[in-house]
Structure 1
């Protein structure tokens, strides 16, 4: 007689999860895309379901609204995963997810949908993120869509469903505040710093014995103001992981399309950067990452023939160095071909020499319209990209450095200030005027010997510093500083650096180093050449913050 298996007792029902995602089950969703002008972008979403194994199925549903697409989707992915995936084709604000799994989103505005989806349990996405960081993508075993990996995700989802209190606890320890309110708070803290500096300067004339209590109170105010300033600034700081997290899925899809294999390594994800900079660095970083995969990492058979591993390594790293943050994109691919770059430069009519040092050759790729791609594709070859990257980074008072070795790999490093709201500066005096130099640009200062200054063509001056000649910028001439009769001329030089080039600024005196609150001059007055902003000094006067990048470029060209 056949043996009848005893019925297995059903497990006790788990509490309802915070995000209604059936454990190990498939969700039926309606996804509305639009309104949008180019509906081909919405149709590209169907290709994602076709190309990514394990994502689910998708079918067209009738939609009466103009400029919209409606899809019926069967998937095990969370709303957050779907939104992140769709973001490479359509904006999140144009996506509405409806169905049994997301009842709240059905009645919400498009913006609210994106916010609601972002509240999916963190635990459910953790194994997926771990696979992404280790580089196990869909083009080789261990991919999130691989059948061997799928079962491993189920326990994590189950634990997320069984612990709704964890997500609730996380929500109770944080609040969402409009960025405008944070900016207002930072501005008020900056005004407080200026007022404190004013009080401190005026108190220097007081008799310490007769005003001991007042001076002690001012010292406490100084300390508390600095602590408040650091605390307020930290509110704007967000970890680089928010930027890095968008690349694994994008790179996996791109690698699938190109037939390449790679491991993605993320370093320094906890490194914090000002939110305003994070938003502006994302696009340049995206272009650099796509370049590394497209131009840098070779096809698997080419890597094997070159004695390398089949899968390349692409590294994204962030670290603090002094008062700056350095973001690096590294790969162990083919590197850049010096001769090819020089040949392309000559074809475009650029004046280049075979004796150019490598560092200068690598900088040629930042020329507008320059591209070394042999074939124009939707990934590269259009000649638009690296010049925009350089322009965007320069606008943030940052620099881009390139290091490459053919057949070994390439490294692109972006150096940025930690924040745009406050900076360390060196104040210098010219006549009765005070100017602020970004301390990160200052190399050295010295008293000039007139014999070391040489006049060349058209009245330009060069100064010799340790066998190196560099241009001289006379601040009094550049900014037309009035001089009193008989006043001594400038005899101090401050060397500033940008993009590996140096110039010497001729000033009257060095006043000191201090933190300054950066005020936007353009929005309050107008754009001034060679000036990036302004600040208010302790005595209430306004000092201009110099744009050392434009000054160096002006002296070079």
Structure 2
């Protein structure tokens, strides 16, 4: 059998195991230690070791064996994981990530990193273990030193059906000491026919009493609910006489085994490409349904009552189906937030600062594509907050603050959007310093600017108030890129800050990139979609409100401001006919805001508002300036989706800005 076809599942599960190990170790380091946390870390390492051994990844197997040994000492109460041990374990997790990536992609092994991790683990193991202080922890180290362990193992049929191999369990038990094996035939007397879906074998096993009970339990952890299991000591006084499968599960491995079984029963791994294909098909169904609705508008409602009623039901079912399928791509924000505890720990240690990370709203769901693209801006903002937002411990004490600074990451739904906020309780932005830097760079600053207008200056390209640059980033350095990346997702970003109290950066994002709430507008004979999240207002300007400057650049006066005016017909190369011939009256201006800039789009008519299914124009045709995508209307026509950010960057508008 070609077992390489199972590689993808192994690597995916191993990455999840490493994430669980890292989270558990960070919890231990922060003082949130309990027996179950150590068990979770141990079982993740144990699972990775078993899979790596199956597929022949020797380097991974050897390193996880050392990890497992150290963690088993902690589980059994023979060792306390102090800061030094936790640091070594975190280093080993990093090395394991590299090893697994190398195995997955066929890259060379980082031999230096592997040697360093092995050496650190062996040094810890060879040193004197620090015993646990509590009686409860000491009890978990129970052995049957006064006699042998006697084990009766009777697999159920479901154990074989789920792909588990009893031989693997026996080999693992044998690795702990000399294993005595007696194979039992469970068939009844007079048995003549064998059912291939039943299990007839059982085993009586013995192990030396010096083997820890926890090691035996761990060997059966994944099959405890798929077998009859009895573990007892040869002498009753050494340990409790009989431990049932249920008790063993509850005492040690049940929580994880139960959760693992539950997860597998209630979930299934599906390739993202398959989900995207399903979403695309549902999008086509939505378009077809819109076509049917439009074609049915001219039917006699009396003569076609049954047909129209069916179409209404079809529309309702299509909408429900669309929402359900879109939910498949939704993931909790925890997928983005989970990388920050380790990053915050490492940066704080590197900068000599004390930092506490507080998160909330991790269960808030967001489209997978949005989550993947928001991670880099979030990383930049969190690094900025630690590097230049939070003060050193002595500075915080001098200011009357707790020497440990706090970084907060929150996520919450707000209407059809999600709000992600990154906050710190550090020094805050310096208004006067920002204004001085703006003057030095000849940036335009409104007269008597508000705080919000001053904070907005940090988004200027290359703007920074840092007195010296570090290898991390200055507050403000790269903020223009952050805003640009967020705007590319259809989002917005703003800053709130108070001197001496800290800063908060708020990011507003659409829940999904696959469906857009849009305003359809007519430009000549064509229809365009303007995303509603960037629309501020629409108005019918008077002729006197339109001015021409810098040659042919036009601006529109909207109350006290002058905004660049973009004629969409000219922008997209459409024939410009007289408005009377086209059947249109006075032009209409749609005011939009993107990348912190406002501009007015000149259109002929507002047609309505509705959700549209976004089609990737670049993948199906090529990139077009000022266009972010396309959709198919109910009558079958293609409508382009306006990219206000691209329009705002055109050279013609630069003169009008």
TM-score of the superposed pair, with normalisation by structure 2: 0.61
**What is the deviation of 1:443?**
1.5
Query: Is the 2:491–2:508 contact (alpha carbons within 8 Å) kept by the matching residues of 1?
Result: yes
Query: Is the 2:462–2:476 contact (alpha carbons within 8 Å) kept by the matching residues of 1?
Result: yes
Query: Is the 1:291–1:380 contact (alpha carbons within 8 Å) kept by the matching residues of 2?
Result: yes
Query: Is the 2:458–2:476 contact (alpha carbons within 8 Å) kept by the matching residues of 1?
Result: no
**What is the deviation of 1:345?**
5.4
Question: Which residue of 1 is the match for residue 613 of structure 2?
Answer: 517
1:21 equivalenced with 2:43 (yes/no): yes
- Coordinate RMSD, CA, aligned: 3.7
Deviations 1:181-225 (A, max 9, x none): 000000000000000000110011111111111111111111111
Query: Is the 1:325–1:416 contact (alpha carbons within 8 Å) kept by the matching residues of 2?
Result: yes
Secondary structure of residue in 2 paired with 1:378: coil
Question: Which residue of 2 is the match for residue 466 of structure 1?
Answer: 559
**What is the deviation of 1:484?**
4.5
Mapping for residues 82-93 of structure 1, pairs under 5 Å:
none
Question: Which residue of 2 is the match for residue 68 of structure 1?
Answer: 110
Query: Is the 2:564–2:600 contact (alpha carbons within 8 Å) kept by the matching residues of 1?
Result: yes
How many Å separate the matches in 2 of 1:492 and 1:23?
A: 64
**What is the deviation of 1:249?**
1.9
Question: Which residue of 2 is the match for residue 492 of structure 1?
Answer: 588
- Compared with structure 1, are the counterparts of its residues 542 and 354 closer, same or farther at alpha carbon in structure 2 (3 Å cutoff)? closer
Secondary structure of residue in 2 paired with 1:278: helix
Instruction: Decide which moves more: 370-379 or 432-441.
Output: 370-379
Instruction: Decide which moves more: 315-324 or 211-220.
Output: 315-324
- Compared with structure 1, are the counterparts of its residues 413 and 166 closer, same or farther at alpha carbon in structure 2 (3 Å cutoff)? same
Query: Is the 1:323–1:440 contact (alpha carbons within 8 Å) kept by the matching residues of 2?
Result: no
Secondary structure of residue in 2 paired with 1:318: strand
Query: Is the 2:618–2:629 contact (alpha carbons within 8 Å) kept by the matching residues of 1?
Result: yes
Q: 2:625 aligns with which of 529, 532, 550?
A: 529
- Compared with structure 1, are the counterparts of its residues 540 and 56 closer, same or farther at alpha carbon in structure 2 (3 Å cutoff)? same
Secondary structure of residue in 1 paired with 2:43: coil
Question: Which residue of 2 is the match for residue 304 of structure 1?
Answer: 397
How many Å separate the matches in 2 of 1:178 and 1:379?
A: 35
How many Å separate the matches in 1 of 2:368 and 2:490?
A: 15
- Compared with structure 1, are the counterparts of its residues 342 and 309 closer, same or farther at alpha carbon in structure 2 (3 Å cutoff)? same
Query: Is the 1:429–1:508 contact (alpha carbons within 8 Å) kept by the matching residues of 2?
Result: yes
- Compared with structure 1, are the counterparts of its residues 389 and 308 closer, same or farther at alpha carbon in structure 2 (3 Å cutoff)? same
Secondary structure of residue in 2 paired with 1:326: strand
Q: 1:548 aligns with which of 644, 647, 657?
A: 644
**What is the deviation of 1:493?**
1.8
How many Å separate the matches in 2 of 1:228 and 1:364?
A: 44
Question: Which residue of 1 is the match for residue 273 of structure 2?
Answer: 180
How many Å separate the matches in 2 of 1:192 and 1:402?
A: 41
- Compared with structure 1, are the counterparts of its residues 443 and 338 closer, same or farther at alpha carbon in structure 2 (3 Å cutoff)? same
Secondary structure of residue in 2 paired with 1:279: helix
Query: Is the 1:376–1:382 contact (alpha carbons within 8 Å) kept by the matching residues of 2?
Result: no
- Compared with structure 1, are the counterparts of its residues 346 and 396 closer, same or farther at alpha carbon in structure 2 (3 Å cutoff)? same
Deviations 1:251-286 (A, max 9, x none): 122212222223322122121110011111111101
- Compared with structure 1, are the counterparts of its residues 52 and 216 closer, same or farther at alpha carbon in structure 2 (3 Å cutoff)? farther
- Compared with structure 1, are the counterparts of its residues 351 and 501 closer, same or farther at alpha carbon in structure 2 (3 Å cutoff)? closer
Secondary structure of residue in 2 paired with 1:194: helix
Mapping for residues 206-245 of structure 1, pairs under 5 Å:
206-245=299-338
**What is the deviation of 1:499?**
3.6
Query: Is the 1:298–1:333 contact (alpha carbons within 8 Å) kept by the matching residues of 2?
Result: yes
Secondary structure of residue in 1 paired with 2:418: strand
Deviations 1:161-184 (A, max 9, x none): 233223211221001100000000
1:161 equivalenced with 2:183 (yes/no): no
Query: Is the 1:490–1:507 contact (alpha carbons within 8 Å) kept by the matching residues of 2?
Result: no
- Compared with structure 1, are the counterparts of its residues 341 and 185 closer, same or farther at alpha carbon in structure 2 (3 Å cutoff)? same
Secondary structure of residue in 2 paired with 1:168: helix
Gaps of 5+ in 1: 1-13, 34-48, 77-99, 104-119, 122-156
How many Å separate the matches in 1 of 2:355 and 2:433?
A: 25
Q: 1:280 aligns with which of 373, 380, 384?
A: 373
Question: Which residue of 1 is the match for residue 509 of structure 2?
Answer: 416
**What is the deviation of 1:376?**
4.1
1:253 equivalenced with 2:346 (yes/no): yes
User: Number of matched residues?
Assistant: 446
Query: Is the 1:521–1:534 contact (alpha carbons within 8 Å) kept by the matching residues of 2?
Result: yes
1:317 equivalenced with 2:410 (yes/no): yes
1:397 equivalenced with 2:490 (yes/no): yes
Mapping for residues 357-506 of structure 1, pairs under 5 Å:
357=449, 358-380=451-473, 385-484=478-577, 486-487=580-581, 488=584, 490-506=586-602
**What is the deviation of 1:346?**
6.2
- Compared with structure 1, are the counterparts of its residues 66 and 188 closer, same or farther at alpha carbon in structure 2 (3 Å cutoff)? closer
Query: Is the 1:23–1:158 contact (alpha carbons within 8 Å) kept by the matching residues of 2?
Result: no
Query: Is the 1:262–1:311 contact (alpha carbons within 8 Å) kept by the matching residues of 2?
Result: yes
Query: Is the 1:342–1:352 contact (alpha carbons within 8 Å) kept by the matching residues of 2?
Result: no
Q: 2:423 aligns with which of 330, 338, 354?
A: 330
Gaps of 5+ in 2: 1-35, 61-80, 100-106, 126-168, 173-220, 223-248
Secondary structure of residue in 2 paired with 1:21: helix
Mapping for residues 333-352 of structure 1, pairs under 5 Å:
333-344=426-437, 349-351=441-443
Deviations 1:14-69 (A, max 9, x none): 9xx99863999xx9999948xxxxxxxxxxxxxxx997553447899xx9x96532
Instruction: Decide which moves more: 518-527 or 482-491.
Output: 482-491
How many Å separate the matches in 2 of 1:282 and 1:514?
A: 30
- Compared with structure 1, are the counterparts of its residues 53 and 338 closer, same or farther at alpha carbon in structure 2 (3 Å cutoff)? farther
Query: Is the 2:555–2:562 contact (alpha carbons within 8 Å) kept by the matching residues of 1?
Result: yes
How many Å separate the matches in 1 of 2:569 and 2:504?
A: 40
Query: Is the 1:424–1:513 contact (alpha carbons within 8 Å) kept by the matching residues of 2?
Result: yes
**What is the deviation of 1:418?**
1.2
Secondary structure of residue in 1 paired with 2:527: strand
Query: Is the 1:236–1:275 contact (alpha carbons within 8 Å) kept by the matching residues of 2?
Result: yes
Tell which structure's C-alpha radius of gyration is larger. 2
Question: Which residue of 2 is the match for residue 54 of structure 1?
Answer: 86
**What is the deviation of 1:451?**
3.0
**What is the deviation of 1:428?**
0.5
Secondary structure of residue in 2 paired with 1:292: helix
Query: Is the 2:455–2:495 contact (alpha carbons within 8 Å) kept by the matching residues of 1?
Result: yes
How many Å separate the matches in 2 of 1:411 and 1:302?
A: 20
